[in-house]
A and B are shown apart, each in its own frame.
Chain A
């Protein structure tokens, strides 16, 4: 069986949900091992990785240097020398890391994949492109394959024979880097589920006029995260981390609700692959209606409160 290495993402020491999704996918490709870059994880976190199928947790403590893609790539490379497949979550930073790793190893890379499978000994991936209007299947022709997988594309589940993962320390030779990180200003973690991982996203655009009360209320009711259009973040109505779209966060929740968002192609590119799309917009000609499973032409100030009341009423009865 081939070894499939999964780069672990963690937030405040806890493994993120997309990591468990990647481990679940890794089990279909071979024998998963987890790679943890940083000081050794807490035993409970290592155990959760084991439950999701990791046979080993390989720990590479590269210190602060790991913020630089070249150093992180060297750390990941040291822990994945024997791996036939390296899986990472498709984030901007990981794309940089795997580009360096691919140059060092000769591996072929696909990022932003929504699925991966073994076909005749080669990894094949699925992606959506052109603002999610096309499906593309790509074969990685090299023996070693690197795949960047999008969050929310595999349903995470525990392994069939959940075992305790063994911790293995790996030493890495870090390269000299020219770049120096001189400042790190942490962004506070979002309340609730991060946008990219949320099963439900409720977004507000210019049509909110800057008032996110209703959008937040609906998001909370549905157990989702709050998103926004670029115009809304540019206005300073909500922070940049909430922006959905081609240059913001790409989301693929089971449900996407667009409130007062016109549906510009840049925005659609970041949400069009969502499961169910719902839109509320006062303009019947808004392009968002072209891709919405259910649309309401109306003022969000009327429609959203009524929807909230109705859901509460049905839940209460």
Chain B
């Protein structure tokens, strides 16, 4: 079983996230691996463990700081870390990012075929959830997205998709791009031994040239969408908190009635 997991470097959810020049501010200090990618790593590790053999690659595309995302994946137990770092990638939209990720996947796949690419269901910075579909389309592989369950049987992958109107079961031949939801599993914590071992593991760094990607087709200049303004939302004004001493429910009702909400 050969699996590649995509992991994104994002600002920590608990930190003060912000924008600089129309792009999400990403710094090493408060950045981390996208939390939902932990489910992708976990799914890959479980498949490798169940098969009793195989290799798991973690791949990230991003600036120098983004290496923290694949280091986290190493701590969780993946075998190899890949980092596409190239200034020309900055400002890419989902299609540019998918093109670069696909080129890196192909490079690994050409060395020895991969069975699966597993991604998170969404990156918690933008939450677009578009990348997994774009990546499957770029690679022209099977697309099995939003999986809350994943099983592999021979050369076929089967997933369960919990959609608002139906629970679907979908099968497709390998190789496939699978995105997993946070219902798919419970991610493990890195143990001390793995954290120590991760320190000495190498991270392979690639540029666009290494991948044979024309820099003009990605990055800000090729992006189909441009952030023209970003500003923090003002905090809510006139907030009231009352402590219930027997009248709290009535006060709540009066507030709703006053606002015309009840």
By a beta-carbon cutoff of 8 Å, the part of chain A in contact with chain B is 11, 67-70, 91-93, 95-96, 98-100, 102-103, 106-112, 124, 128-142, 178-187, 189, 194, 200, 221-222, 240-241, 246-247, 249, 254-255, 265-266, 269, 276-278, 280, 284, 289, 291-299, 302-311, 314
Contact = CB atoms under 8 A, between A and B. Distances in A.
Contacts of B257: 311, 314
Given A96-B130, A182-B170, A294-B241, 18 more contacts: A95-B128, A100-B133, A112-B127, A128-B233, A135-B232, A136-B227, A178-B173, A179-B171, A246-B127, A247-B121, A254-B261, A265-B13, A289-B239, A292-B241, A293-B239, A293-B240, A297-B241, A298-B244
B240 A295 contact: yes
A46 to B, nearest CB: 21
A313 to B, nearest CB: 9
A142 B262 CA distance: 45
A66 B241 CA distance: 49
B253 A298 contact: no
Interface in B223-255: 223-233, 236, 238-244, 247-255
A70 B143 contact: yes
A69 B142 contact: no
Contacts of B239: 289, 292-295
B249 A305 contact: yes
B171 A140 contact: no
Given A91-B164, A181-B168, A99 B134 contact: yes
Interface of B: 11, 13-14, 17-19, 36, 93-95, 121-122, 124-130, 133-134, 137-138, 141-146, 158, 162-173, 181-183, 223-233, 236, 238-244, 247-257, 259, 261-262
A153 B124 CA distance: 22
Contact of A92 (B129, B167, B247, B261): B129
B137 A276 contact: no
A185 B161 CA distance: 10
A68 B145 CA distance: 10
Contacts of A303: 244, 248-249, 252
A184 B168 contact: yes
Contacts, number: 244
A269 B164 CA distance: 19
A298 B126 CA distance: 35
Given A222-B261, A297-B241, A280 B169 contact: no
A213 B257 CA distance: 22
B225 A110 contact: yes
A130 to B, nearest CB: 4
B14 A265 contact: yes
7 contacts: A11-B165, A69-B145, A189-B165, A247-B181, A255-B261, A309-B249, A310-B249
Nearest to A305: B249
Contact of A280 (B141, B225, B252): B252
Contacts of A68: 170
B259 A310 contact: no
A50 B230 CA distance: 36
A294 B255 contact: yes
B143 A179 contact: yes
A37 to B, nearest CB: 14
Contacts of B163: 92-93, 187
B213 to A, nearest CB: 16
Contacts of B11: 130
B224 A107 contact: yes
Given A181-B168, A247-B36, A138 B128 contact: no
Given A69-B143, A294-B255, A200 B165 contact: no
Given A130-B17, A186-B165, A311 B242 contact: no
